[in-house]
């Protein structure tokens, strides 16, 4: 890239060659980088709960900032590349303090630009995209003061319990065990273990408190929007825990390998006496939890990202519902307690998938600041990502 950049410099001295410091090219080279090469350092910075990972991330930022010759540093462009994913996670992936620290450190050592893949689950991501938008204006701002403003202006009389909800989510994410690795828990059912039922009950109590404090219809709708999204988390965790209990019951009885499918098939078919033993009770709970999760997920996805906004979305909703029901049947080797139950589940999923988007829901691929008066719109649609200069 240095050779290409040298050629570009002769004909287009104001142009830069963008590149990703990614995978095997993540480390800074041991030779100077041409001033017209603009690398973006990629990392899953939500993994900063691991002190070793975070120290290496800070050192890597500094190494890239120092990878230019002294005479090139005044005109270089170098950026951070983040993954602010939400939709691929069914649990809150909140890491506001890590984001704030990363952006502030990067700017101090000489980074000039920022890019993020944003596929939000607005109901669970909360203040994350908004906070990033504010910090990109001035990385030295206090994240605590910014978050105070967000909760006060977004939730008004319900600000205290809503802030407690998201901060409890952030502590839970950062208290996870194990080593950090790239996009940990991305589309992985193991993420349910991060928010066990006891923690979900604690978080639900905070949401109920926020709903009870809401006085205006606007605040009630905003609280309900996040509460509905967290309902998917609760169903997801319940489904996973039921599956674990089912597996444990089968293991304790030393059941032959073919027996789990037969047990689940009896439960799904509604045969008599299916609750006489622990394993069948666990199987019934697993089936019910999965069915509730599927219906809740389809409903929350439509409410959270605004399905039915374009022609043909209803057809895609129905196809998604059919795939969800088919997945349940395939997983347990039978219908949902007979043909009638399958049809009814399809109808429920279709109605949920095609439910209108509530007022106040924000489409994905945008960043917005909601204020009581004088709304400041920072929405920049760039195909599910946003790019901002730190200068």
**pLDDT tier for residue 367 given thresholds of 50, 70 and 90:** very low
- pLDDT, tens only, 179-232: 998 889 999 999 999 999 999 999 999 999 999 999 999 999 999 999 999 999
Check whether 155 has a pLDDT greater than 80: yes
**pLDDT tier for residue 245 given thresholds of 50, 70 and 90:** confident
How buried is residue 97: exposed, middle or buried, by Cβ count under 10 Å (0-12/13-18/19+)?
A: middle
> Percent of the chain, pLDDT > 90?
56
Check whether 150 has a pLDDT greater than 60: yes
**What angle, 0 to 180 degrees and rounded to 10, lies between the N-to-C axes of helices 217-252 and 278-305?**
150
pLDDT higher at 390 or 52 = 52
C-alpha R_g of the chain: 24
What residues have CB less than 8 Å from 23, skipping those under 6 apart?
A: none
pLDDT higher at 150 or 23 = 150
Check whether 325 has a pLDDT greater than 70: no
CB pairs under 8 A, 24+ apart, for 344-348? 345/291, 345/294, 345/295, 346/321, 346/322, 348/295
The phi and psi torsions of 77 (rounded to 5 degrees) equal -130, 130
CB 52 within 8 Å of CB 29: no
Helix (H), strand (E), coil (C) string for the chain:
CHHHHHHHHHHCCCCCEEEEECHHHCCCCCCCECCCEEEEEECCHHHHHCHHHHHHHHHHHHHHHCCECHHHCCCCCCEEEEECCCCCCCCCCCCHHHHHHHHHHHHHHCCCEEEEECCCCHHHHCCHHHHHHHHHHCCCCCHHHHHHHHHHHHHHHHHHHHHHHHHHHHHHHHCCCCCCCCCCCCCCHHHHHHCCHHHHHHHHHHHHHHHHHCCCHHHHHHHHHHHHHHHHHHHHHHHHHHHHHHHHHHHHCCCCCCHHHHHHHHHHHCCCCCCCCHHHHHHHHHHHHHHHHHHHHHHHHHHHHCCCCCCCHHHHHHHHHHHHHHHHHHHHCCCCCCHHHHHHHHHHHHHHHCCCCCCCCCCCCCCCECCCCCCECCCCCCCCEEEEECC
Q: What is the pLDDT of residue 249?
A: 76
Q: What is the pLDDT of residue 87?
A: 85
Q: What is the pLDDT of residue 292?
A: 72
Among the listed residues 96, 203, 105, the one whose alpha carbon sits nearest the alpha carbon of residue 151: 96
Rounded distance between C-alpha atoms, residue 103 and residue 125, angstroms: 18
pLDDT higher at 291 or 103 = 103
Rounded distance between C-alpha atoms, residue 67 and residue 374, angstroms: 43
Q: What is the pLDDT of residue 288?
A: 73
Average pLDDT, integer, range 19-31: 93
Q: What is the pLDDT of residue 310?
A: 38
- pLDDT, tens only, 67-77: 999 988 889 99
Q: Which of 88-97, 283-292, 367-376 has the lowest mean pLDDT?
A: 367-376
Average pLDDT, integer, range 241-260: 69
**pLDDT tier for residue 23 given thresholds of 50, 70 and 90:** confident
Q: What is the pLDDT of residue 283?
A: 64
CB 134 within 8 Å of CB 127: no
Q: What is the pLDDT of residue 95?
A: 97
- pLDDT, tens only, 294-315: 666 556 544 443 333 333 444 5
Q: What is the pLDDT of residue 131?
A: 97
């Amino acid at each position: 890239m240095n050779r290409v950049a040298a050629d570009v410099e002769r004909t287009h001295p104001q142009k830069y060659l963008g590149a990703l410091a990614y995978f095997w090219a993540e480390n800074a080279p041991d030779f100077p980088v041409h001033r017209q090469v603009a690398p973006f350092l990629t990392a899953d910075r939500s993994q900063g709960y691991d002190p070793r990972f975070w120290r290496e991330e800070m050192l890597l930022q500094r190494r890239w900032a120092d990878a230019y010759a002294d005479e090139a540093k005044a005109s270089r462009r170098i950026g951070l590349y983040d993954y602010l994913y939400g939709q691929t996670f069914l649990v809150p992936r909140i890491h506001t303090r890590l984001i704030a620290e990363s952006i502030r450190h990067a700017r101090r050592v000489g980074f000039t630009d920022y890019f993020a893949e944003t596929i939000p689950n607005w109901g669970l991501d909360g203040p994350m995209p908004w906070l990033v938008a504010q910090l990109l204006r001035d990385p030295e701002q206090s994240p605590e003061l910014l978050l105070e403003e967000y909760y006060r202006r977004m939730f008004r009389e319900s600000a205290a319990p809503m802030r407690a909800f998201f901060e409890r989510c952030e502590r839970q994410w950062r208290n996870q065990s194990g080593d950090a690795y790239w996009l940990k828990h991305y589309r992985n059912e193991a993420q349910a273990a991060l928010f066990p039922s006891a923690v979900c009950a604690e978080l639900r109590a905070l949401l109920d408190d926020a709903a009870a404090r809401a006085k205006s219809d606007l605040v009630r709708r905003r609280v309900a929007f996040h509460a509905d999204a967290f309902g998917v988390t609760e169903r997801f965790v319940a489904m996973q825990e039921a599956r674990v209990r089912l597996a444990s019951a089968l293991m304790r009885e030393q059941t032959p390998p073919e027996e789990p499918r037969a047990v689940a098939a009896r439960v799904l078919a509604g045969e008599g006496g299916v609750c006489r033993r622990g394993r069948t009770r666990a199987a019934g709970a697993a089936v019910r939890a999965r069915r509730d999760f599927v219906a809740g997920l389809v409903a929350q996805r439509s409410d959270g990202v605004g399905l039915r906004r374009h022609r043909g979305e209803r057809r895609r909703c129905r196809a998604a519902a059919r795939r969800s029901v088919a997945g349940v049947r395939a997983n347990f080797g039978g219908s949902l307690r007979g043909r009638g139950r399958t049809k009814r589940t399809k109808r429920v999923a279709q109605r949920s998938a095609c439910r209108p988007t509530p007022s106040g829901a924000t489409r994905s691929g945008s960043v917005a600041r909601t204020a009581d008066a004088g709304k400041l719109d920072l929405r920049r649609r760039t195909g599910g990502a946003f790019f901002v200069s730190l200068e």
